[in-house]
Structure 1
Amino acid sequence: MKLNVYTPLATVLDGWDVTYLRAEDESGAFGILPGHADFLTALTVSVVTWRDLEGAEHHVAVRGGIFEVRGGEITIATKEAVQSDDLIRLEAEVLSAFRRAQEEDKAARTDAQRLYLAAIRQICCFLRDERGKGARLYE
Structure 2
Amino acid sequence: MSSGFTLHLQSAALYECIEGVDSFVGQDASGSFGILSGRARFITVLAYGLARFRLANGKWHYLACPGAVLSFADNQLFLNTRRYLRDDDCQRVSELLNGQLAAEEAELKSVKDNLQRLEHELFRRLHQLDRWPV
* 1:5-49 alpha-carbon deviations (Å, 9 max, x no partner): 0112221x3132111110122222211112211111112222221
Q: Tell which deviates more after alignment, 25-34 or 64-73.
A: 25-34
Q: Please say if 1:59 is aligned against 2:46.
A: no
Which deviates the most, 121-130 or 97-106? 97-106
Higher helix share: 1
Give 1:89 shift: 0.7
**TM-score of the two chains, using structure 2 as the length reference:** 0.87
Asked if the contact 1:25/1:44 (under 8 Å) is kept, the reply is yes
Matches of 2:58 and 2:18, distance apart in 1:
17
Check if 1:46 corresponds to 2:41: no
Q: How many residues align?
A: 130
Say yes or no: does 1:10 pair with 2:14.
yes
Task: Say what the alpha-carbon RMSD is for the aligned residues.
Answer: 1.6
Distance in 1, matches of 2:53 and 2:40, equals 18
Larger Rg: 1
Can you give the 5+ residue segments of structure 2 that lack an aligned partner in the other structure?
none
- Matched residue, 1:137: none
Paired position in structure 2 for 1:19: 22
Cα deviation 1:70-99 (Å, max 9, x = unaligned): 111111111112211011011012343212
AA aligned opposite 2:61? H
**Corresponding residue for 1:115?**
118
